[in-house]
Amino acid sequence: MNPLTTSLLVAVMGLAFSCSAFAAAPTPKPTPPKRHTVIASISSDSITVDTGKSQQTYKIDKYTQLMFEGKKVPMNDLKAGMMVTVTPNFDGKSVSAVNAAPPPKATPVASPAPKK
C-alpha cells in the first residue's frame, strides 16, 4: 500500500470512530436536591449536626455563642431540624459558635408530565 492510501484509510477510520462517539450522547443525571446541615439533636452540653452524609457531635460550654438568625438566644430556642452552621474550636470536639436558622422548606415532589 502506498503512503497516500494508508493516510487516507487512517483518516477515514478516525472519522468513523469519532462520529460514533458523538452519536449517542449520555443522558444527564438529575441533580439531587440540596441538603442543608441541620440540628439532629441538642442538649444542655452538646449539639449533634447532620450534614446528610454524616453526623457530628460537639460539646457546648458556657463560652459558646448561641445565635438564631444572627441574634443571641438561649439554648432552649434551638431545636432539632433547624438549619445550622457551627464554628468548631481548634480541638474539633467543641464549638465556639452555633448559628441557627428556620428549618428548610420542604421541596414539593414534581408530578409526572401528562401523556399526550
What is the domain range of residue 56? 38-101
Determine contact, residues 82/102, Cβ cutoff 8 Å: yes
pLDDT digits (tens, 9 = 90+) for 61-105: 999 999 999 999 999 999 999 999 999 999 989 999 999 999 877
Tell me if 80 is assigned to some domain.
Answer: yes
Task: Supply the pLDDT for residue 16.
Answer: 63
Q: Copy the grid coordinates of residue 25.
A: 450522547
Angle in degrees, CA 14, 15, 21, rounded to 5: 90
Task: Supply the pLDDT for residue 30.
Answer: 74
> Looking at the whole model, is its pTM more than 0.75?
no
Determine contact, residues 46/58, Cβ cutoff 8 Å: yes
The strand pair at 83-88 and 95-101 is best described as antiparallel
pLDDT digits (tens, 9 = 90+) for 15-65: 666 655 555 667 777 766 667 899 999 999 999 999 989 999 999 999 999
Determine contact, residues 37/85, Cβ cutoff 8 Å: yes
Tell me, what CATH number does 72's domain have?
Answer: 2.40.50
Determine contact, residues 84/56, Cβ cutoff 8 Å: no
**Domain count for the chain:** 1
